[in-house]
């Protein structure tokens, strides 16, 4: 007698396996094994690779031209049905099983010939790589949109010669051009785009033809498959090809770093948007109110952006822990790779446009930014001035330190100290030179090195930022050079 949860005899459902079992799978196994809720979105890529496989089987002499053409047309029909919203049956284990069932419904028995010399192991690896290459292009476009808003703000801030404090240890450190601060958030995003382009390049190695683990026994041309599917290369080892998920880890790591960068931009803006700072104001379209306190204007977008990196890091951790210690080849543990990949990409593509919108609406208030510059922030400039007069930096540091202490003790700005105090701190100080060295504009203008905050350096930086946004050939798909989306 069968246990109550075991169906007797073979299941009538459309399965890609099962012939060797006398009994059908237990419902709990089916529920556990089923991944269609996660992997259905791979369908356009599974259809595409299946069509390429039908052609490869014809070239290899396994199918005749008519059979291959029937399968191709049938797969187009399957794609139309899924696009129109076909509802998977409980027995559709995964996207590959679903497509196989629908193909049978489209073309009948010839559908059974398609799964010759291939396995879901090389199939799922191929489809996931195609999906990832596509996702990396979409992510690149979304990050560029954020970079463009940053450049737009930087251009306006530079034109207005807006100055603000730069912070170290979150203590006021030195005056900088506000455009310089804005652009400090541009370059991390540039690195994120490079990391994603590298992840896409790593994904661009074709597993199809690797079969379950040992390689296809039919003489399919993997080079033709690579060309027709737009991969840059053919995987060199079938065991590695069905077990390699590095490209997913690369992608999620790139998104984790992007999340880290968005969290730091968000934190700056949240802080600068407080009444205590008052440097920025959030627009209406991306601010939320409070159910209790009518005066509130909350930067929810930035807070969610700040928090969302937790998801990416969680996904990265889940994936890497899943892969660690797996024996070589395919293992079913890997089925969950897509859950992590899709979640990290989805979360990023949800957060990015909102950050773009919120940052686009932000208005800068130059006055409080300027008012936050106290003359003690020019202490380094004062010490530098003494160095220019031939004094050693250490002695200059000590002399200025004494002035800072005195100003602090008297509760006045350094520029308001009496001449006596200045002369006592260092005989070379005289009122005129001190006043000059204590002007924030002067402090900013002196930092004209590449990457410095002087306005001319910032203008060069804006030009470099714009150049980095011009499309460059990045991902090679077969013989075709795919441009980064403009």
List residues binding ligand ARG (CB under 6 A).
35, 39, 94, 120-121, 124, 330, 332, 334-335
**Cβ closer to ligand ARG: 20 or 169?**
20
Nearby residues of 334 by Cβ (< 8 Å), 6 or more positions away: 243, 245, 322, 323, 326
Alpha-carbon separation of residue 240 from 120, 213, 222, 246, 323 (angstroms): 15, 8, 16, 11, 13
Cβ proximity of 53 and 114 under 8 Å? yes
**Cβ closer to ligand ARG: 278 or 329?**
329
Q: How far is the CB of 334 from ligand ARG (least distance, A)?
A: 5
Residue 164 phi/psi, 5-degree rounding, is -155, 165
Angle at 457 between CA 452 and CA 460, to 5 degrees: 130
Cβ proximity of 229 and 478 under 8 Å? yes
Q: How many Cβ atoms sit within 10 Å of the Cβ of residue 483?
A: 11
Nearby residues of 196 by Cβ (< 8 Å), 6 or more positions away: 136, 139, 140, 143, 251, 254, 255, 258
Q: How far is the CB of 244 from ligand ARG (least distance, A)?
A: 13
**Cβ closer to ligand ARG: 235 or 335?**
335
Q: 3-class secondary structure for 371-395?
A: HCCCHHHHHHHHHHHHHHCCCCHHH
**Cβ closer to ligand ARG: 336 or 361?**
336
Cβ proximity of 355 and 150 under 8 Å? no
Q: How far is the CB of 114 from ligand ARG (least distance, A)?
A: 16
Q: Using CA atoms, how far apart are residues 11 and 85, in angstroms rounded to an integer?
A: 25
**Cβ closer to ligand ARG: 90 or 401?**
90
Q: How far is the CB of 347 from ligand ARG (least distance, A)?
A: 21
Q: How far is the CB of 45 from ligand ARG (least distance, A)?
A: 13
Cβ proximity of 95 and 138 under 8 Å? no
**Cβ closer to ligand ARG: 32 or 392?**
32
Catalytic residues: 169, 290
Q: How far is the CB of 326 from ligand ARG (least distance, A)?
A: 12
Cβ proximity of 378 and 440 under 8 Å? yes
């Amino acid at each position: 007698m069968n246990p109550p949860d075991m169906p007797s005899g073979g299941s009538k459902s459309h399965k890609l396996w099962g012939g060797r079992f006398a009994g059908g799978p237990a419902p709990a196994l089916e529920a556990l094994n089923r991944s269609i809720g996660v992997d259905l979105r791979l369908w356009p890529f599974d259809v595409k690779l299946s069509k390429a496989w039908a052609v490869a089987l014809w070239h290899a002499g396994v199918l005749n031209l008519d059979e291959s053409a029937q399968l191709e047309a049938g797969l187009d029909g399957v794609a139309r049905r899924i696009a129109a919203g076909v509802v998977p049956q409980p027995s559709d284990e995964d996207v590959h099983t679903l497509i196989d069932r629908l193909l049978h419904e489209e073309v009948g028995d010839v559908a059974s010939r398609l799964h010759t010399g291939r396995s879901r192991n090389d199939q799922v690896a191929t489809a996931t790589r195609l999906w990832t290459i596509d996702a990396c292009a979409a992510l690149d476009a979304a990050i560029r949109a954020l970079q463009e808003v940053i450049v737009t703000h930087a251009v306006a801030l530079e034109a207005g010669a807006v100055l603000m404090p730069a912070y170290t240890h979150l203590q006021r450190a030195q005056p900088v051009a506000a455009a310089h601060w804005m652009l400090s958030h541009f370059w991390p995003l540039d690195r994120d785009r490079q990391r994603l382009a590298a992840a896409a390049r790593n994904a661009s190695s074709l597993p199809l033809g690797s079969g379950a683990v040992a390689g296809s026994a039919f003489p399919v041309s993997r080079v033709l498959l690579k060309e027709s599917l737009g991969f840059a290369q053919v995987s060199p080892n079938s065991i590695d090809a069905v077990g390699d998920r590095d490209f997913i880890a690369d992608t999620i790591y790139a998104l984790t770093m992007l999340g880290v960068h968005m969290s730091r931009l968000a934190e700056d803006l949240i802080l600068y948007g407080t009444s205590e700072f008052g440097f920025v104001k959030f627009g209406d379209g991306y601010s939320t109110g409070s159910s209790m306190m009518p005066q509130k204007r909350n930067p929810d977008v930035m807070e969610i952006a700040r928090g969302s990196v937790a998801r990416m890091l969680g996904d990265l951790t889940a994936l890497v822990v899943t892969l660690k210690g797996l024996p070589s080849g395919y293992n079913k543990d890997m089925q969950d790779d897509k859950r992590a990949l899709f979640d990290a990409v989805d979360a990023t593509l949800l957060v990015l446009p909102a950050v773009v919108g919120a940052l686009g609406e932000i208005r800068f208030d130059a006055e409080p930014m300027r008012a936050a510059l106290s003359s003690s922030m020019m202490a380094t400039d004062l010490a530098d001035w003494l160095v220019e007069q031939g004094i050693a930096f250490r002695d200059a540091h000590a002399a200025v330190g004494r002035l800072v202490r005195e100003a602090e003790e008297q509760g006045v700005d350094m520029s308001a100290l009496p001449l006596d105090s200045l002369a006592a701190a260092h005989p070379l100080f005289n009122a005129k030179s001190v006043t000059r060295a204590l002007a924030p504009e002067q402090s900013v203008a002196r930092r004209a090195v590449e990457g410095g905050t002087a306005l001319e350096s910032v203008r060069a930086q804006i030009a470099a930022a714009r150049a980095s946004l011009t499309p460059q050939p990045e991902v090679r798909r077969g013989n075709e050079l795919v441009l980064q989306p403009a």
